[in-house]
Homo-oligomer: A and B are copies of this chain.
Amino acid sequence: MQERTPRRYVIVTDGYLLNRHAKTAHGMLRYTEDEIVAVIDGGYAGKDVADVLPALHRSAPIVASVKEALPFAPTSLLVGVATAGGILPPQFRAHVLDAIDAGLEIVSGLHQLLRDDPEFVTRAQKSGARFWDVRLPPTSIPLFSGAAYRVPQVVALAVGSDCAVGKKSVMIELQRAAVAAGDRAEFVATGQTGVMISGKGIVVDRVISDFVSGAAEQLVLGVSADARYALVEGQGSILHPAYGAVTLGLLYGSAPDVLVLCHECGRELVEDFDVKIPDLNALRRMHESLLAPIKPAACVAVALNTQRLNEAQAREAIAAAQRDTDLPADDVVRFGGARLWTAVRAAATQTAKARAHAQPLQA
């Protein structure tokens, strides 16, 4: 885990700014409390992020190179993409080298660890640049023990129909709504962007598979004692052929009391695969029936991502989801988290009461 130190970021997205793989950049632009002094993307140089991606509500100049970003006094270069397989895009290499030569800290959430790259290391030795490979987990993670079943907090986990449907954003919005409502809620980061935003957490998809439930458990055990709610960022999807294992490890390991079901309206197939996404009720049953023999938890809210819809369509989709599932539904990024948080809190409180009477599992 890393403590959050204030940074002034230049984010490199060269060629990816509007691509779904730039979700690290998008998440940081939307949620980080650090400064973002510039974005490097040649195709949009001269524009502002606010013009190109108005939904993110952040202004930052777009430039073509590290050199052009230096006058904005960045402390850190952030690799703004999460490519499949976590490989550094080749066109990013020159920017990373320029940033190293300028002595900037290099922050990356890729599987490919930049600190292991001989050329980067050699150049960094000259300039004093440092690396924060956010994805690297702590060296010693214990096996899942069952201790997560007995944490004092109410644990809510985001689960979803696919990768990149907004599970992280949902939990951050709910956490902010909770705090605004005077509730002590902590966001629990499980992915690289979440860890960059919150300054702590474990990127669970990087953990050795035998220990992925254990890592999720450690995260839940590490929530600060004065928090009453732990809002755990979800990963992948139980439906995803490549990432389902990570999803299940998090589902079992974080031992949630309640689930928030996330889905992007209009998405019909799982990312990169010809796997049909079933309807919300079927998806809900999949998760609930997996947890039923182990530690039962119910879906208590539906969080829709309506970015492909206009506002009237979005409100209609939310109403339809609510009708179909008989659960409270909303798009918390678009319309704010207050309403859904109230519903999650109410359900979570009910569940927590029920849990007090349940037989705890013994490790």
Which of A's residues lie within 8 Å of B, judged by CB? Answer: 84-86, 111, 142-146, 204-210, 212-214, 238-239, 241-246, 248-249, 252-253, 255, 272-276, 278, 286, 289-290, 293-295, 359, 361-363
Count identical subunits in the complex. Answer: 2
The answer to whether A361 and B241 touch (CB under 8 A), given A85-B142, A146-B273, A286-B289, is yes
Q: List B contacts of A210 (CB < 8 A).
A: 86, 111, 205-206, 242-243, 246
Q: Report whether A239 and B272 are in contact in the complex, using a CB–CB cutoff of 8 Å.
A: no
Q: List B contacts of A86 (CB < 8 A).
A: 210
Q: Report whether A209 and B84 are in contact in the complex, using a CB–CB cutoff of 8 Å.
A: no
The answer to whether A245 and B245 touch (CB under 8 A), given A111-B210, A274-B359, A274-B362, is yes
In the complex, how many angstroms separate the beta carbon of A35 from the nearest chain B beta carbon? 30
Using CB atoms, name the residue of chain B closest to A149: B241
Q: Report whether B242 and A144 are in contact in the complex, using a CB–CB cutoff of 8 Å.
A: yes
Q: Report whether B276 and A293 are in contact in the complex, using a CB–CB cutoff of 8 Å.
A: yes
In the complex, how many angstroms separate the beta carbon of A333 from the nearest chain B beta carbon? 25
28 A–B contacts, CB within 8 A, in A order: A86-B210, A143-B242, A144-B241, A144-B242, A204-B209, A206-B208, A208-B209, A209-B209, A209-B246, A209-B249, A210-B243, A213-B243, A213-B245, A239-B293, A241-B252, A241-B255, A241-B295, A242-B253, A245-B246, A245-B248, A245-B249, A248-B248, A273-B294, A274-B359, A274-B362, A275-B294, A275-B361, A276-B293
